[in-house]
Amino acid sequence: MANVDPKVLERANAWLTGNFDEETKAQVKDLMQNNEKELVESFYQNLEFGTGGLRGIMGVGTNRMNKYTVGMATQGLANYLKKSFAALPQIKVAIAHDCRNNSPFFAKTVAEIFAANGFHVYFFDALRPTPELSFAIRLLGCQSGVMLTASHNPKEYNGYKAYWDDGAQVLAPHDANIIDEVNKITDPAQVMFSGGAGKIETIGAAIDDIYLNGIKGLICLSPEAIAKHKDIKIVYTPLHGCGVKLVPEMLRRMGFTNLIHVPEQDVNDGNFPTVYSPNPEEPTALKMAVDKALATGAEMVMATDPDADRIALAVRDKKGEFVLLNGNQTNSIFTYYLLRRWKELGKLQGKEFTVKTIVTTELISRIAEGFGVKWFNCYTGFKYIAELVRENECSMTYIGGGEESFGFNVGGLVRDKDAIISCGLAAEVAAWAKEQGMTMLDLLHHIYTQFGYYKEKQISVTKKGMDGLAAIKQMMVDFRANPPKSLAGSAVKEIYDYQLLEVLEVKSGAKRKIEQKTTSNVLQWLTEDGTIVSVRPSGTEPKIKFYFGVRENLHSVNDVEAVTAELDKKMNTIATELKLV
């Protein structure tokens, strides 16, 4: 133990002598005696609220998800809620959880702590999608809510998404203020783990019904096409997660009659036994569903991640093979369909808007401009989209918006990305496209010919643990000090630094301000030919992410393969130049 940081040992010893249960103390002692590396990883820092709230590997320690870190975070949140809503006679919160190992236990722990603090707690009777928790907060007039989930992370992770009274994830200044309150909780004895008898109210089916009816009212813009093509074959998999009940029910209510399941993946299981990773961005996660679609002659595959806030789609190409759409393509199709149908139905009045994030395809911006609809750019994280919705909903109408990581939402019903909405919308778009004599892929290519062929690629570099965190920080320092002068032969003309909130015009050296409320550790390089490369450390995973965006005109759908090859070659060149491959 001589090489272990004294601060790590101090934190670990505090867990051996403090108000922790004997099982926890035994596990800490075992780490100290037998696993120095894991001891350091477990205690070198405290879990903090990031872009996705609290998230980490489950286990003992200050840097792990366990009863005590969850409890201390909850007590800190409770203390902040008491200060923020002191004038209310009763503070109300809603709690939900996903299918992950320990999620029900963590959810119950959170509920009991809130109840012991005198709050009225609405507690879902079983696992529910993250977006339904967002919906329930506003429906029930809550001041906050917590969703126990680690989204698409590997099975050893769990997490804690904190929501505010508007149904959106916590934003500044509340996030920093909550951290301040959490940091004041230094001993489990300060946490009110029990004592709230009668303050917890179970909720479930009634909320589901209101939620699903609300979604149906938001989408369903082409009821005739749905009725005509209601038997379109769709394979759906929840990847062992929360979508298993509500996605099929949503499609049934819309009128679709031919939904095909993947029975092995309908089983809720936090070990995710049939997939290497429950991340719908990974093609391997959809393999069983695609195999089922090929065997049954289905036209589309849908998958939702474990907490059912993100969607992945696979559609057939001209050869009859399945192509996995990326998040940019899915969002572009959704945006185009919504704006076109709003226009055809006479719903566009000049006061509508859509939202994308700064690393999401510029195609969405061009589509919005083509329909005369205002668009906003915001940081990665749906809470920033929700913030723009909240700020503009009194004077404008939010149609929809999303981010490249497979998240999308329609309207103001839910203040987070919503895969239940997205699955319903995807089925509707497929039916509408079929009525136009197109497949989903045909529709995407049609969009490219109208607005330009935008193609994107993401490369993530994983750097785990304390050393990895330091390495990621250094990479950002190096990129700021020595940015590339050109990318794939095109000179870099502008550098956007969202940490400094300024744009550097490379040739002139002139600088201008970026209009954002807060800073973010993101760099973007824009070249003369329209290429955009963005770099940002992930807020929820031990990764640094690189986003490539290239474009070219597409004069005919017959040129798709040739232009695709050209754009892929350009992105591969950039990846090589940045030493990512």
The third-level CATH classification (topology) of the domain covering 210-451 is: Alpha-D-Glucose-1,6-Bisphosphate; Chain A, domain 3 (3.40.120)
Per-residue pLDDT for 130 more than 60? yes
pLDDT of residue 507: 95
- For the record, the structure tokens of 207 come out as 């909320």
Reading the block at residue 305, the tokens are 């991640």
Q: What is the mean pLDDT of residues 195-217?
A: 94
**For 363-450, where are the E strands, in sequence order?**
374-378, 397-403, 407-410
For position 156, what pLDDT does the model report? 96
Give the integer Cα–Cα distance in Å for 282 and 287: 10
Query: Which of 277, 350, 285, 289 is CA-nearest to residue 541?
Result: 277
Q: In angstroms, rounded to a whole number, what is the distance separating the alpha carbons of residues 325 and 311?
A: 10
pLDDT band (50, 70, 90) for residue 52: low
**pLDDT tens per residue across span 24-42:** 999 999 999 999 999 999 9
What 465-473 contacts at long range (C-beta under 8 Å, 24+ apart), as own/partner pairs, is: 465/41, 465/542, 466/40, 466/41, 466/44, 466/45, 468/542, 469/542, 472/537, 472/542, 472/543, 472/544, 473/537
Beta bridge partners, 201, equal 122
pLDDT at 134 over 60: yes
Does residue 3 surpass a pLDDT of 80?
Answer: no
Q: What pLDDT shows up at residue 51?
A: 54
* Window from 44-58, 229-243, 392-406, 485-499 with minimum mean pLDDT: 44-58
The answer to whether residue 514 scores a pLDDT higher than 80 is yes
Confidence of residue 45 (pLDDT cuts 50, 70, 90): confident
Same fold, 45-203 and 210-451: yes
pLDDT, one tens digit per residue, over 75-108 is 999 999 999 999 999 999 999 999 999 999 999 9
- Residues near 502 by beta carbon (within 8 Å), at least 6 away in sequence: 511, 512, 513, 514
In this prediction, residue 2 carries a pLDDT of 60
Percent of the chain with pLDDT over 90: 88
Please give the CATH number for the structural domain made up of 45-203: 3.40.120.10
Question: How far apart are the C-alpha atoms of 212 and 53, rounded to whole Å?
Answer: 26
Pick the CATH number of 453-577 from 3.40.50, 3.30.310, 2.60.420, 3.40.190: 3.30.310
Coil vs helix vs strand at 186:
coil
**What are the structural domain ranges in the chain?**
1-42, 45-203, 210-451, 453-577
| Residues with catalytic function | 151
Q: If you average pLDDT over residues 1-13, what whole number do you get?
A: 84
Q: pLDDT higher for 463 or 304? A: 304
Instruction: Give the Cβ contact number of residue 176 at 10 Å.
Output: 12
Instruction: Read off the pLDDT of residues 537-552 as tens digits, 9 standing for 90 and up.
Output: 987 678 999 999 999 9
**What's the pTM value of the predicted model, to 2 decimals?**
0.94
The pLDDT, as a whole number, for residue 196 is 81
The per-residue pLDDT for 1 is: 63
**Spacing of C-alpha 173 from chain mean position:** 21
pLDDT digit string, tens, across residues 249-297: 999 999 999 999 999 999 999 999 999 999 998 999 999 999 999 999 9
Rg, the chain, Cα only: 24
Mean pLDDT of 513-525: 94
